[in-house]
Structure formats: C-alpha cells, structure tokens
Amino acid sequence: MALNLIMLGAPGAGKGTQADRFARAKGIPKISTGDILREAVATGTPLGLQAKATMARGELVSDEIVIGIVKERLARDDAKKGFVLDGFPRTVAQAMALDGIMQGRDPLIVVDIVVAAEELVRRLGSRLVCEKCGTNVDEKNPASAGACGRCGGRLVQRADDNAETVKERLKVYERQTKPLVEYYQARPTFKSINGARTPDQVAADLNTAIATVASGARA
C-alpha cells in the first residue's frame, strides 16, 4: 500500500518538521506547494508560465493552476509509492479536486497536528529561521549557535512571527482550515494527534497513527 499522506496543522504546530522527518524515513517525496510552484515557474512549464504571469501582476495564483501543478507532481514516478503533502489542500474545493486526482490510487491518510493557540503564539514568537534557506531552528540547531545548521546562513526572526501578527494568522488559519478538517474527519483514514509534545514524541505518535490507518485500509 502506498502511503499517501496529507499533513494539516496551524503555523507553529510542527507540520513541516514532521512532514520532512516522515518523508525521509519512508523514502517518499515531501511535496510542498510552494516548492513545486517555484519549480514549475523556474522550468517554464505551461502552468508555471501561467503562475509566473499571475504573480507578476501581484495576484494570487488560482486554485485551478495550483491543482494542475499538484496533479502533474503526483503523476511522477517517485510519488507512486507514496508522498507527503504539506500546504495542500488549503480549501475544501482543493480537497475535492485532490479526491478526483486520487481516483484509482491508495487512499489518502490525513493527519491533523493539534496545538493550543497559546503554545503556538509562544513557539512562533521565539522561532528563528535561516534567512538563506528558510530552515527553522530546532533543538538540534540551537539559536545560540547563531548560524543555520544546514547551510550556515544567519538566523533571524520572520517578520510575521511577532505576537499580534501570529494571533491574526492563527485566526485566518482557523477560519480557512476548520471546514477542511470537517471535510476529512469522518473518514476512517483521518487522525488527530497532540502536537504539544517533543518532536520525537510527536513523530512516534504520527507513525503509530499512520500504521493504524494503513493496516485498517489493507484489512
């Protein structure tokens, strides 16, 4: 069975970190919409050219283009044995389109990493990122080192990680994502896990949840 995973979680919940860890451990691609959008633009695919023109006008890239780019990426050979989607779908309309793309493939496993708003504000307010490669600081790359453990770049606070901006981002996330969680949560392949633990504990819970869902889907 292919492990086709969607990771949901608010900013600061650790979604990106866990998506990276799980994808590396299972040898499957982590597919971020930001990454594949930039790749499509850089390589000049037809959809990438449409996206580039849209962004050049200062407009948001449409669902239609994003869905098309995701569909193209999921059709590649390396995604046939599974993938981890990070940042897609963001809306029910995108989720419905993804269901269409997944026709004839193994089911989607959806994991929602849940962390209380107060903890998210604390985490994001103290978070540092590499200004060169965008990597978040973690427990293995302490801020006191002053440099990114991946590329050596300077560590900075993101402009949108101040407390008031974080609170507004969380409100927006809640409005946008609640309907998406409701869309998926009735499915037997949906799991919610506690993200207010250490990264290793969350990873262990994530692996257990996915193994449980996968075994049930095979039964």
Q: Of 21, 73, 127, 191, which is the active-site residue?
A: 127
Residues 6+ apart with CB under 8 A from 61: 37, 51, 54, 55
The answer to whether residues 76 and 47 touch, using CB atoms and an 8 Å cutoff, is: no
167 is catalytic: no
User: Does 132 qualify as catalytic in the annotation?
Assistant: no
Residue from 52, 71, 81, 90 carrying the catalytic annotation = 90
- Point out the catalytic residue in the list 15, 21, 73, 123: 15
Annotated active-site residue in 71, 122, 132, 158: 158
Active site residue 21: no
CA angle 51, 22, 173 (to 5 degrees): 50
Query: Whole-angstrom Cα distance, residue 8 to residue 20?
Result: 13
Of 73, 123, 169, 191, the active-site residue reads 169
Looking at 52-167, which runs of residues are DSSP E strands?
A: 82-86, 108-114, 129-130, 155-156
CA gap 137, 183 in Å, rounded: 33
Catalytic: 127? yes
Q: What is d(CA 95, CA 133) in angstroms, rounded to the nearest whole number?
A: 29
Question: Any catalytic annotation for residue 187?
Answer: no
Active site residues: 15, 90, 127, 158, 169
